[in-house]
Amino acid sequence: MKQAPSAADRDLPDCILHLPEPAVRKLLGLVAGEAVTVVRGPVTGLVMMSAMDSHETAFYLGEVLVTEAEVDYGGCRGYGMVLGDDADRAIARAAVEAIGASPNRALRERVNRLLAAESRKIEARRRRAASLIAATRVDFETMKRT
């Protein structure tokens, strides 16, 4: 019976959004020999970002430059949208989604191993930066009147 992916596995492809460029190329290299075909895009365009004020009134904050792509892998479709003008990353994001839905377990595991290793590096970098921010937590004291 096919097991539902764990939350960590489900979120793993999102780490592609934060991968350094060499890691994106490495990921694309991993799937280069496979029959992954780009069926739409990659297109660089704009997404209007919606936001909400204090009273939950929605408004448009401004546009964000993104790149999107859609791929096919053995009849399984995958979609990726990433920030910036970044066709490789969008294709990588879409390819990982299509491979995740495909029956090719060996390839899926190879991709997941790479992503898990990169995800740990991203997390370590983020923790270090977060601890610097945490060190700026302040406890102001009001001065007593004399």
Partner 1 sequence: MGYVAVKGGIDAIENACRAFEFERMKGSSAPLGADQIRDQLFLLVDRVMSEGSLYAPDLAALAVRQAAGDTLEAAFLLRAYRTTRPRLGYSIPQPSDRMRVVRRISAAFKDVPGGQVLGPTNDYTLRLLNFETADGPRIRKMRLVDEILRGAASAEPLPETFPRVIDILRRENLIVGTRRPAAADAPFDVTKDSLPFPAPRSAALQTLARGETGGLLLLAYSNMRGYGNIHPTIGELRVGYLPLRVRHPLTGEACTAGEVKVTEAEILAKFTDQTDGPRFTVGYGLCFGHNEVKAISMAILDRSMQTGTNASPSEDGEFVLSHVDGIESMGFCNHWKLPHYVDFQSDLDRLRRAKEIYDAQRVDQPKQT
Q: Can you give the binding site for partner 1, defined by CB under 8 A?
A: 14, 17, 43-66, 68, 70, 77, 79, 81-85, 127-142
Nearer to partner 1, 89 or 111 (CB): 89
Per-residue tokens: 112: 């997941």
Name the nearest CA neighbour of 28 among 84, 64, 76, 80: 80
Shortest distance, CB of residue 69 to partner 1, whole angstroms?
11
Shortest distance, CB of residue 13 to partner 1, whole angstroms?
9
Three-class SS state of 27: helix
Per-residue tokens: 118: 């990169």
- Euclidean distance between CA atoms 20 and 136, whole angstroms: 27
Nearer to partner 1, 9 or 110 (CB): 9
Shortest distance, CB of residue 15 to partner 1, whole angstroms?
11
Nearer to partner 1, 56 or 144 (CB): 56
Name the nearest CA neighbour of 125 among 20, 26, 27, 7: 20
Shortest distance, CB of residue 35 to partner 1, whole angstroms?
19
Per-residue tokens: 68: 């999107």
Nearer to partner 1, 60 or 105 (CB): 60
